[in-house]
Structure 1
Amino acid sequence: MKRHTRSAAALAAVGIGAMLLSGCSGGASHDEDTLVLWHYENADSAMGIAWNKAIDIFEEETGAKVQFEEKSFEQIRSTASQVLNSDEAPDILEYNKGNATAGLLSSQGLLTNLDEQVKKYGWDEKLAPSLQTTARYNEDGIMGSGSWYGVPNYGEYVEVYYNKDMFADAGLEVPTTLDEFESVMQAFVDEGITPLSEAAAEYPLGQLWYQLALTKADRDWVDAYQLYTDDVDFEGPEISYATETIADWTDKGFISPDSTGLKAEDAGVAFISGDYPIFFSGSWWYNRFNTEMDADWGTFLFPGAEMSPGSAGNMWSVPEKAQNKDLAYKFIDITMRPEIQAIIGNNGGVPVAANEEDIDADSQELIANFNTLTERDGIAFYPDWPTATFYDELNAGLQELLNGTKSPAEVQKQLGEQYQAGVDDIVG
């Protein structure tokens, strides 16, 4: 295995950042009646609102205090290995899911094995099997099997957002097949409208590419791609169809070549402004569209696919060096209660254990689509997850595809070599 070399390099790389973070902090208080908690959610986000309520309940029921320390996503991502291996470790933190993050730390012995607590509190019974994948890691830190090292209490997935007003003006219905979807996009092109709001400088186009591959894929292919259970053929029908279709849709005017320089925010704002009728992106946009978009809009799952990009959200983890683990477990359990789950659902988030009757009508479509995916084992994770560098490599390859500087076959060959090199670095 090459994992140990990779782990040592990761520790060295974050050393300076960790010192900077600890230098900015007065140090975590570890009184036996104080829970030191880190997370990076905005106070007005669905999770921020819900977790603030959970803190109130926790303090009232336990008599303990919560010392919340707000950290940025980047602070936690870049310094976790060093900080969690010190006396500065919090008692509980929101941590990133995946092999390169939670998996890496679990393999280094920096996260607490939660198997006993999962059974005690019944958290496994509240999470669909596909949502448990990113919470469990084997001894090499590869997700999907082994012990629990985190507990997610929200979900996320990618779906199609559409401008109902623009569809109505064009006399178009929501498509239910991929052929119908292409016909809808062609109808907009015929009216001089580019249908898809896209961005190739960040994640949106990569997720569309992966979604197209999923229209030809099954769970075995996803497991091979994400969990290294088998070799992945980048010239096979799944990836060939995805890459060739992106090129074809660009040639047809469904996707603008100008998307090469656009970021996710650019694409989302363009959809809000009514410049494009369709935006394929994540559930994290839902509440923003609800509050900022003047036009009537709706959502639907990608036509012709049983699976979509998505996963359980980032999760609560307990550092191995946490000093108040029992308090941490109690806090996690509170965030899994129906009343906290309902707050997530009614503020634009995707709860994993809410009672349907507690969810407002405006939020039901978002949650219903997610439930449809989980019920049919349709959560397929994200295209960049397999390796630490594939996010940038995929974006770069798709930018070349849109620019026409490389053919679909050349892009596939390039991506296949980069993917395999990254996987070999992990599993040897």
Structure 2
Amino acid sequence: MTTFRTALLAAGAAAALVLTGCSGSPAESGTDSTTLTFWHYEDDTSAMAQSWQAAIADFEKENPGVTVKVEKQTFEQLQKNAKIVLSGDTVPDVMEYNKGNGTAGQLASQGLLADLTDSASQLGWDQKLPGSLQTTARYDENGLMGSGNWYGVPTYGEFVQIYLNNDMFAENGIAVPTDQASLISAMDAFVAKGITPIATAGAEYPLAQLWSELVLSRTDRSFVDAYQLFKGDVSWTDGPLAEGTKELADWVAKGYVAKSASGLKAEDMAVGFISGKYPMMVSGSWWFGRLQSDVKFDMGQVLFPGSGYSSGSSGNLLVVPTNAKNKDLAIKFINDALGENAQNVAAVKGGLPVAGDASKITDPQTKQLTENWQTLVGRDGLSFYMDWPVAGFYDKLVSFCQTVMNGSKDPMAALAELGEFYESGKKDIVGG
């Protein structure tokens, strides 16, 4: 992430062209020229809400007489009711909405979201967002993520990394891992001392994320695109999926994770790590605020050693409903949400902006989080989440990882069953 003052000046010049090409000015089209309605479901204390508040201040300053009206929703409300609400005439001008085939993609394919492709090109959004972030913003005519037109814009991101209890490493004379070999050595050393190295939870997503990191440590972009975007076939009998599965089983056998974690939930994992029971926790950036507040030890953060990829993606999207009355103002607001001021507020608050400046951050932990994010995005290393491709896959993946952990079935037989579900779901989407 770098600052982009120059780019914004150029974008400002282009904005007039883009906005003229929309539905005309509010006054000309007879719509409300004084209020931009914005729906979102972020807590007011969150980094993103504070970032968007900064964007609101910039927007209102740049557009005298226009006021942004924020209407808070809940994630569940929009997930359940968006299709019905956006089909009517009383809709927001801009709103936060979840990315993915079954959410933003579905609304886009049904004609309920405005096409933002021209704005993305003329305002430079396609230059600010790397390819892996653009993936969640673009959908084809069937609502499949990753190609086609822009129907939303992410302003922040999320990713999986390893959180470290540096005090436990130091107290036990064990070096913090920097590559796969030193990670294995460190885990062996902890096991020898009777310490389970990694906090995890099998009843929810954490164990599946650990499996994902093991798979992704053996992948390249072509595998990610084949698995997530159906740009080719993936093998369930050899290659990254099989190798990652075998390694997870091996890690369980060696005591790197506890078999008893099979029935734990994500909160149990976090509490165990925060209490100082485990030296490492593999999970998402969304835990950062909680850990920053609650841990009493020296905390470290590293990307998964020896891997070029990690589970992660853009955050939710800012979208413009097709029936919005002020599309031109909505586009200007989105541009301000990607602006230097709003993005740097997100950076300082630990919000992982898509285009912020890490040099503005003074807190060392927040700076490390953001630098890890920059490194991952800079090498195009976001691989999305392994449960994304087909409907219902999350529950199947969690169950599969529990099976590998508790040894109730041969790991490769369990993987074959997981593959059958994936391939059936893929066929439902793309045919064949």
TM-score > 0.5, shorter chain as reference: yes
**1:405 alignment partner in structure 2:** 408
User: Are 1:377 and 2:380 matched, yes or no?
Assistant: yes
Superposition pairs for residues 291-306 of structure 1, below 5 Å? Answer: 291-306=293-308
Report what 2:85 is aligned to.
83
Aligned to 1:70: 72
Task: Return the letter of the residue paired with 2:280.
Answer: I
Give the secondary-structure state (helix, strand or coil) at the position aligned to 2:318.
strand
Q: 1:227 aligns with which of 226, 229, 232?
A: 229
Partner residue in 2 for 1:40: 41
The one-letter amino acid paired with 1:117 is: S
SS for the counterpart of 2:87 is: coil
Matched, 1:284 2:277: no
> Is the contact between residue 283 and residue 349 of structure 1 (CA under 8 Å) also seen in structure 2?
no
- Equivalent position SS for 1:351: coil
Tell me by how many angstroms 1:421 deviates: 1.3
Partner of 1:51: 52
Q: Secondary structure at the match of 2:257?
A: coil
Does the 8 A contact of 1:284 with 1:348 survive in 2? no
Q: How far has the Cα of 1:300 moved from its partner?
A: 0.7
Equivalent position to 2:326, from 324, 327, 344: 324
In structure 2, what is the equivalent of residue 308 of structure 1? 310
Q: Which runs of 5+ in 1 are unaligned?
A: 1-29
Aligned to 2:421: 418
Query: Corresponding residue for 2:239?
Result: 237
**SS across alignment from 1:157:** strand
TM-score normalized by the length of structure 2: 0.89
Equivalence for 1:206: 208
Return the offset for 1:31.
3.5
In 2: Cα distance, 1:167 partner to 1:56 partner: 45
State the shift of 1:361 in Å.
4.4
Whole-Å separation in 1 of the counterparts to 2:415 and 2:168: 35
Partners of 2:112 and 2:404 in 1: CA distance: 41
What is the one-letter code of the residue matched to 1:174?
V
Could you report, residue by residue, the CA deviation over 1:308-354 in whole angstroms, capped at 9, with x for unpaired residues?
A: 11111111011111111112111111111111111111112111111
- Paired letter, 2:374: N
Residues 124-143 of structure 1: pairs in structure 2 closer than 5 A: 124-143=126-145
- Counterpart secondary structure, 1:76: helix
Equivalent of residue 197 in structure 2, options 189, 195, 198? 195
Report deviation, 1:89: 2.2
Structure 1 vs Structure 2: percent identity of aligned residues? 49
Which one is further off, 255-264 or 388-397? 255-264
Conservation of the 8 A alpha-carbon contact between 2:54 and 2:341 = no
2:383 counterpart letter in structure 1: A
**TM-superposition CA deviations, 1:52-95 (whole Å, max 9, x none):** 22223323332222221211111112222221112232111111
The residue aligned with 2:19 is none
Contact 2:198–2:257, Cα closer than 8 Å, also in 1: yes
C-alpha separation in 2, matches of 1:283 and 1:256: 23
Q: CA RMSD in A?
A: 1.4
For 2:3, the equivalent position in structure 1 comes to: none
1:202-224 CA-partner distances (Å, limit 9, x unpaired): 21111111111111111111100
Query: In the alignment, which of 352, 355, 362 is matched to residue 353 of structure 1?
Result: 355
Q: Deviations over 1:272-325 (max 9, x none)?
A: 111111001111112221121110011111112111111111110111111111
Deviates more, 1:64-73 or 1:109-118: 64-73
Matched residue type, 2:127: E
Residue 19 of structure 1: aligned partner: none
Deviation at 1:423, TM superposition (A): 1.1
Among residues 386, 389, 393, which one is paired with 2:392 in the alignment?
389
SS in 1 for 2:102: helix
Deviations 1:185-244 (A, max 9, x none): 121111111111101222111111111111111111110000001111111221111111
Measured after TM superposition, the shift of residue 120 of structure 1 is 2.8
Report if aligned partners of 2:358, 2:370 keep a CA contact under 8 Å in 1: no
Separation in 2, partners of 1:78, 1:193:
44
Supply the distance in 2 between the matched residues of 1:85 and 1:146 (Cα, whole angstroms).
Answer: 22
Equivalent in the alignment of 1:183: 185
Q: Provide the rounded CA distance (Å) in 1 between the counterparts of 2:279 and 2:421.
A: 34
Equivalent of 2:371, from 362, 368, 371?
A: 368
Distance, in Å, in 2 between the alignment partners of 1:270 and 1:74 is: 29
Which stretch shows the higher mean deviation, 291-300 or 354-363?
Answer: 354-363
Q: Whole-Å Cα distance in 1 between the matches of residues 74 and 429 of structure 2? A: 27
Aligned-partner SS, 1:341: helix
Q: How many residues align?
A: 399
Paired with 2:199 and 2:420, the residues of 1 have a C-alpha distance of 29
Say which SS state the counterpart of residue 36 (structure 1) adopts: strand
Question: Is the contact between residue 163 and residue 280 of structure 2 (CA under 8 Å) also seen in structure 1?
Answer: yes
What per-residue deviation string (whole Å, max 9, x for no partner) do you get for residues 340-399 of structure 1? 111111112111111333222422211211121122221111101101211111001111
Contact 1:118 1:124 in 2 (8 A): yes
Aligned match of 1:261 = 263
